[in-house]
Amino acid sequence: MQTTLLYRTKINGAHHLPYYKGKCAVVHGHTYYVDLEIEGEVDPDTGMVMDFHDLEKVVGVVPDHIDFNDRLANPTAENIAAYLFDLYKAAVLLAAPGSTFAYLSAVTVWEDPGQGVRVCE
């Protein structure tokens, strides 16, 4: 049976949008809530798709209090979500080496409670 693990973390981060004319062109911060969706079959030996303890290691690849302009030329919510998806996808593979049971299927970045971007594989 296909199962989806849901894991939420938060990142305090800053950015400014260099190609945008408006208030977001100035450096400002957000508390981003980030939802990871890990898909897979339940491992018959462990009874899990992936250990939540291992997921804690995955989210640790992104530092808290990050300046996204140091990593992205245009850190819109869409580009931040894609960037985090790529980082977390690689980290999931490292956290469960050789596992055929778990893979990152989606990342949702909430810039504000009612505004978010979801990136899927």
Mean of the per-residue pLDDT values of the chain: 92
Question: Residue 98 contacts by C-beta under 8 Å, 6 or more apart in sequence?
Answer: none
What the chain holds in terms of domains, given with CATH numbers, is: 2-33+45-64+82-120 (3.30.479.10)
Q: What does the pLDDT average to over 37-47?
A: 89
For tokens 């981060």, the residue is 13
What pLDDT, on the 0 to 100 scale, is given for residue 98?
A: 56
Position 54 confidence tier, pLDDT thresholds 50, 70, 90 = confident
Q: What does the pLDDT average to over 92-101?
A: 71
Position 15 confidence tier, pLDDT thresholds 50, 70, 90 = very high
What pLDDT, on the 0 to 100 scale, is given for residue 99?
A: 59
Predicted confidence (pLDDT) at residue 111 exceeds the cutoff of 90: yes
Q: What does the pLDDT average to over 45-59?
A: 88
Contact (CB, 8 A) for 50 and 102:
yes
- Phi/psi for 31 (5° steps) reads -100, 100
Q: Give CA separation, 41 vs 4, 6, 29, 55, 57, in Å.
A: 9, 14, 38, 16, 21
Q: Burial letters for 79-113: b for 16+ Cβ neighbours within 10 Å, e otherwise?
A: bbbbbbbebbbebbeebbeebebbbbbbbbbbbee
Per-residue DSSP letter, 48: -
Q: Give pLDDT tens digits for 63-96.
A: 899 999 999 999 999 999 999 999 999 888 887 6
Strand order of the β-sheet with 115-120 is 66-67, 2-15, 28-41, 102-112, 115-120
What pLDDT, on the 0 to 100 scale, is given for residue 5?
A: 93
Contact (CB, 8 A) for 116 and 108:
yes
